[in-house]
A = this chain, B = another copy of it.
Amino acid sequence: MSEEGDKLTKARDEFVAQWGALGTQWGINRTMAQIHALLMTAPLPLTTDDVMAELQISRGNAHTNLKELVAWGLLRVVVKKGERREFFEAEKDVWQIFTIVARERKRREIEPALAILNKCAEESREITTPEGRAFHDQMRQLEDFVGFASKMSDRVSSMKHGLAVQLATKLLS
């Protein structure tokens, strides 16, 4: 039995470590990704101290990243009767996770881009030189495309899981 426990611990530790390393690529910091991995695979909600102990990190670090994950909506705070400490539990549904991440990425990556493109397209609207026209055109094309992507992202994110799969299956066939 202890052997199976070992295998599980090993697999889980590996998942946490590797997922943390991947987090960097995804533009979130290592600790945040590790905490997310840890809680996604935790059978029960954990406290800040549990997380500190498991990942060997400081209280400040654990606290900041736990709250950040709560702000994203990837974790929930759980209050237990007769317990003063806060417990944290992860959203485990993959479609939910996906929509949360998609929304956040849209907010941080797509919307600022749109704002810039809008502004630059506007500022160059009335320039009549060939270079000016070319610039304006390029801004418009980018703006149109990014705006389009933004709308798509909204649509997909707000779909029910089943519907999205249905659509995707059609696309893949």
- Residues 130-146 of chain A, each 1 if its beta carbon lies under 8 Å from chain B, else 0: 11101100110110110
A26 touches B109 (CB 8 A): yes
Residues of B contacting A149 in the complex (Cβ-Cβ under 8 angstroms): 98
In the complex, the count of this chain's copies comes to 2
With an 8 Å Cβ cutoff, the count of chain A residues facing the other chain is 57
Q: Which residue of B lies closest to A108 (CB)?
A: B25
Residues of B contacting A43 in the complex (Cβ-Cβ under 8 angstroms): 130-131, 134
14 A-B pairs whose Cβ atoms sit less than 8 Å apart in the complex: A1-B129, A8-B129, A8-B132, A11-B123, A11-B124, A12-B120, A14-B119, A25-B108, A25-B109, A94-B141, A94-B144, A95-B145, A156-B171, A167-B171
Give the 7 A-B residue pairs with the shortest CB-CB distance, closest first.
A11-B123, A94-B145, A18-B116, A15-B120, A11-B124, A8-B132, A27-B27
Name 15 extra pairs, CB < 8 A, besides A7-B132, A12-B135, A155-B171.
Answer: A1-B129, A4-B127, A8-B124, A10-B123, A11-B135, A12-B120, A14-B119, A15-B139, A25-B109, A26-B27, A26-B109, A27-B27, A41-B134, A148-B168, A152-B171
